[in-house]
Amino acid sequence: MNISDASERSGVSAKMIRYYESIKLLQPAARRDNGYRDYGDADVSVLQFIRRTRDLGFSLEEVGALLTLWRDRKRPSREVKRLAEAHIADLERRMKEMRAVLRTLRDLAQHCHGDDRSDCPILDDLASPLSTRRAKRRH
């Protein structure tokens, strides 16, 4: 099948399919006489694997590692799990940061009148965060 059919079936854009091939995440696709790339069901499966893995937030580098493990019938599941857990830890770290940011933002927004008046605790904080503000003192 043509690239656009593979794209439709896998949910990966044609552009990205070509890109993945160019960075060697994918084996070079078979070509028809006219130079068109030609895909089979197995290729679509690989593309779906990539799509799913990307959707779970893995980087393309990690996708590559997972693909290799997937293809290796003798892989130790330990390695897959290790990759997954590293990624989980990364997401958890980022979530934690976002939670802290959200807490701050909600707090600031809550205290802002949000009307025609110009005084605004949000801007006040951006200019001089509460966390760094303290009683005046001489240096």
Partner DNA sequence: CCTTGACCTTCCCATTGTGGGAAGGTGCAA
Partner DNA sequence: TTGCACCTTCCCACAATGGGAAGGTCAAGG
Q: Which does 60 bind (CB under 5 to 8 A by kind): DNA, a second copy, none?
A: DNA
Whole-Å CA distances, 94 to 52, 81, 83, 100 = 21, 20, 17, 10
Q: CA angle, 25 as apex, 22 and 29 as ends, to 5°? A: 65
Q: Binding to a second copy (CB under 8 A): which residues in 23-52? A: 45, 48-49, 52
Is 53 a residue that touches DNA (CB under 7 A)? no
Q: How far is the CB of 54 from DNA (least distance, A)?
A: 5
Q: How far is the CB of 134 from a second copy (least distance, A)?
A: 15
Calpha distance 86→83 (Å, rounded): 5
Q: Are 34 and 3 in contact (CB under 8 A)?
A: no
Whole-Å CA distances, 53 to 23, 90, 117 = 17, 15, 48
Q: Which does 106 bind (CB under 5 to 8 A by kind): DNA, a second copy, none?
A: a second copy
Residues 80-119, one symbol each (x = binds a second copy by CB under 8 A, - = not), give xxx-xx-xx--xx-xx--xx-xx-xxx-xx--xxxxxxxx
Name the site residues for DNA (rule: CB under 7 A).
2-5, 13-16, 18-19, 29, 32-37, 54, 59-61
